[in-house]
Structure 1
Amino acid sequence: MITETPGLHHVTSIASDPQRNVDFYTEVLGLRLVKRTVNFDDKYTYHLYYGDEVGNPGTVVTFFPFEGGRQGRVGRGQTSATAFVVPEESVDYWVDRLESRDVDVDTPHTRFDETVVPFRDHDGQPLELVTGTSDIEPWDDGPVPVDNAIRGFHSVTLDSRNPEQTKAVLETLGYESTAQDGDRTRYRASGNGNRDSFIDVLARQDAPRSQQGVGTVHHVAFRTPDTQTQEEWREQLSEIGLQVTPQKDRQYFKSIYFREPGGILFEIATDGPGFTRDESVSELGAELKLPPWLEYDRAMLEERLPEIEPASILKMN
C-alpha cells in the first residue's frame, strides 16, 4: 500500500489569448516556455507548458488558451489559487515588478508565518507568491534575476464543496494536516524532501459555486515516480470508491484522472519521460510539437492555430 506522494506535479488552467499567456508567464513571472503542443483532447487548441529550465515536476503550470472563451468564476468545487515559492528577501522586488507592469496585485500579508503576495494574471487567474524553501534551481536565462526568481510550487488552495471528504482523499494521497487558520486547513506532502509542497483546503459553505472557464484551474496533478506506482495508486483510489480513468499517454508523462468528492479534478502524473524527449534543452518550447497520432494533421494545425512569439526563447538565443 502506497502511503506518501512527493507532492505537486503540475497545475493546468484555462486561458484566453495564447500570446498574452506567453507574455505574462515568461516576461512577467520569468518562467520558461518549455513545451508548445496541443490539447490532445481538442487538437485545435494549444497546450502551453511553463516551468524551470527543463520543466521539472513541481515547477510546471500549463494552459489551454481558448481565444474568445467564456470567463470562468472561481468558487467552491475548484482550485482557487496557485502559489509559487520565492525567497523571503524578494517580496519587495516582486511587488514592485508586478505593480510596474500593471498587474492586479494585493498588499502582502502573513499566513502560517509566511509572507503571501496575492495577484491575478491578465485573465483574472488567482495566483500567489509565498516565501518558503525549495531545492529547485530557477532558470538563469530568464528576465527575473536568479536571486529573486520563482522556485517551483508552494501550494494550491482547494475551495471544496465537501471539505471533509476532500481531506480524506488528501490523506489517502499521503498528505498530513499541519495547521489550521479559520476556514483554512493546511496539508503537507510527506515525501517531498527539501521543498515546500502544501495543499490548503477551504471550508466556505456560503461561498458561490465555481464555473469553469477562462481564468480558472482545470485540474491539479500530483507526482508519482513511474507507471507501476501509478497503477498502484489507481487500484488504491478505486478501492475507496473513486472513479479513476485508465492511463493516458500525455507524451511527456503518463496520467490518470479522478474527480474527488469536493468537485475538484485531480491527476496523478509520472515524473518521466519529461520535456526533453523530443527537444534539446536549448530548444525547449521553440517549435510546435505533436504526438505521433497527430503528425498527419501538422500542416492544417500550423495554419489554423494562432501564431505566438515565445519572447523568452528569442531573448535567450
Structure 2
Amino acid sequence: MEFTGIHHLTAVSGNIRENYRFYTQVMGMRLVKRSVNQDDVSAYHLFYADAVGSPGTDLTFFDWPVPPEKRGTHSIIRTCLRVNGQAALDWWVGHLADAGVQTQGIAEHDGRLTLEFEDTEGQRLALVDDGGAGDTPVPWDRGPVPPEYQVRGLGPIVMSVPELRMTDMVLTGVCNMRQVRRYPDPENPRNTVHVYQMGQGGPHAELHVAVQPEKPVVQPGAGGVHHVAFRTPDEEQYHAWARRLNELGVRNSGEVDRYYFRSLYFREPNGILFEIATDGPGFAVDENAETLGESVVLPPFLEPRRASIVAALKPID
C-alpha cells in the first residue's frame, strides 16, 4: 500500500482577490472550485488546477486575513509546479518578468532545471522541468499560457524540519515512502535535503525534507502552507490507511468526507499537517465541467445555509 503522489497542497492567502488574479492570469491555472472552508465557512476555499481539476494538479487556498507568515522550520517551505522542458522554463522567465515577478533565474536543483520565485504574498514557488513524467494534465484552453507551457501539476514539495530521525520514522514506517537520495540544501549547502519517493516515483511523487536546525520555528500566516495531501486511488485503500494509522497509534482526524474527495489528516512529529485524499469523486460531481469555478458551490451539508454563507463572502472577480 503506497501513495501514488501529491494530491493537492493548501496554502493561506490574506488577499484572496489578488490571489485569484495571480493564479489565473499570471500562472494560467483554472479556478475549478469556488467554495468555502468546510470548517470555517466565513472563508473562501479556492482550487486552481488543470482544466478539469485532475488529482495532483490542485493548488488550493484558504482566505484568511491574517498577518504574513514568519518563515522558519517545522513547515512546508516551497511548492514546486511542474512544466515540461527547457523551452517551457525559458518561456516562463519572460512571462513572469512581463508580469513584474522577480525570479532567481533557471538553476539546477537535485538534477532538475528549476525556476524559483514567489507570488504576491511571499508564497514560495518553483517551476520544475519534469521531463514529461507523471499523469498528463488536461490543458486549459481559455487561459493566458500556451498549452505546451502550462503547469502540469504539483511536485516535488519541500518541507523543513530541525531534526530528521522522527520524521523519517513516520515517512518510511507509517507512510511507506522510500528515502532514495539526498542533495545539498540550496539555501545553505552545509545542510542536506533528503528525497522521499512515493509509488513509481518522479517529481510528482516526491517529498523533499530539508534538515535546517539553525532556523527558528515558523509562525504561520499568509503566504505560508497549511497542509500537503497525498494521493490514494480509491476508497478501499483510503479505509486501509485509516486502519493503519489507528493500528500504529498515530493520532488522526478519522475519516472526513469532503464531498469532492475523502480525507484523513494527521501530523508528522514536527507538527506539519499531512492529508491522505482519494482521487475521486472529483470536482464535476456538482458542476458542469464547462462552468467549473464560475459560481460558489457548497457541499450538500452546507446548502441549507447558502444564503448566509454567500452573503458574507466578498467578490473576487
Instruction: Give me the TM-score of the superposition, normalised by structure 2.
Output: 0.92
Where structure 2 has 5 or more consecutive residues not aligned to the other structure, the ranges are 185-191
In structure 1, what is the equivalent of residue 72 of structure 2? 75
Q: Do the aligned partners of residues 16 and 104 (structure 1) sit closer, same or farther apart at CA in structure 2, a change above 3 Å counting?
A: farther
Task: Tell me, yes or no, if the aligned pair for 1:167 and 1:201 is still in contact at 8 Å.
Answer: no
AA of the residue aligned to 1:73: K
Where structure 1 has 5 or more consecutive residues not aligned to the other structure, the ranges are 310-317
SS at match of 1:299: helix
1:65 CA drift (Å): 1.4
SS at match of 1:196: helix
Q: Distance in 1 between matches of 2:167 and 2:51?
A: 33
AA of the residue aligned to 1:181: Y
1:195 CA drift (Å): 6.6
Q: Map of 1:281-300 to 2, 5 A cutoff?
A: 281-300=289-308
Q: Map of 1:1-317 to 2, 5 A cutoff?
A: 2=1, 4-67=2-65, 69-88=66-85, 89-132=87-130, 133-137=133-137, 138-171=139-172, 172-182=174-184, 183-191=192-200, 196-309=204-317
What is the percent sequence identity of the aligned residues?
Answer: 38
1:245 CA drift (Å): 1.3
1:86 CA drift (Å): 0.8
SS at match of 2:67: coil
- Count matched residues: 305
Task: Tell me, yes or no, if the aligned pair for 2:4 and 2:198 is still in contact at 8 Å.
Answer: yes
1:301 CA drift (Å): 2.0
1:119 CA drift (Å): 0.6
1:164 CA drift (Å): 2.1
1:182-213 Cα offsets, whole Å, 9 max, x none, are: 31111221246x77321100111111211111
1:242-297 Cα offsets, whole Å, 9 max, x none, are: 10111111110111100110221000011111000000110100110012222222
SS at match of 2:265: strand
Q: Distance in 2 between matches of 1:64 and 1:223?
A: 20
AA of the residue aligned to 1:64: F
Moved over 3 A (4+): none
Task: Tell me, yes or no, if the aligned pair for 1:160 and 1:263 is still in contact at 8 Å.
Answer: no
Q: Distance in 2 between matches of 1:92 and 1:108?
A: 8
Task: Tell me, yes or no, if the aligned pair for 1:57 and 1:271 is still in contact at 8 Å.
Answer: yes
AA of the residue aligned to 1:276: A
Q: Do the aligned partners of residues 161 and 234 (structure 1) sit closer, same or farther apart at CA in structure 2, a change above 3 Å counting?
A: farther
AA of the residue aligned to 2:297: K
1:236 CA drift (Å): 1.5
In structure 2, what is the equivalent of residue 312 of structure 1? none
Q: Distance in 2 between matches of 1:304 and 1:190?
A: 42
In structure 1, what is the equivalent of residue 189 of structure 2? none
1:232 CA drift (Å): 1.2
Q: Distance in 2 between matches of 1:166 and 1:99?
A: 38
Instruction: Give me the TM-score of the superposition, normalised by structure 1.
Output: 0.92
Task: Tell me, yes or no, if the aligned pair for 2:73 and 2:215 is still in contact at 8 Å.
Answer: yes
Q: Distance in 2 between matches of 1:267 and 1:24?
A: 26
Q: Distance in 2 between matches of 1:156 and 1:113?
A: 15
In structure 2, what is the equivalent of residue 314 of structure 1? none
SS at match of 2:204: coil
Task: Tell me, yes or no, if the aligned pair for 1:161 and 1:263 is still in contact at 8 Å.
Answer: no
Q: Distance in 1 between matches of 2:26 and 2:54?
A: 20
Task: Tell me, yes or no, if the aligned pair for 2:83 and 2:149 is still in contact at 8 Å.
Answer: yes
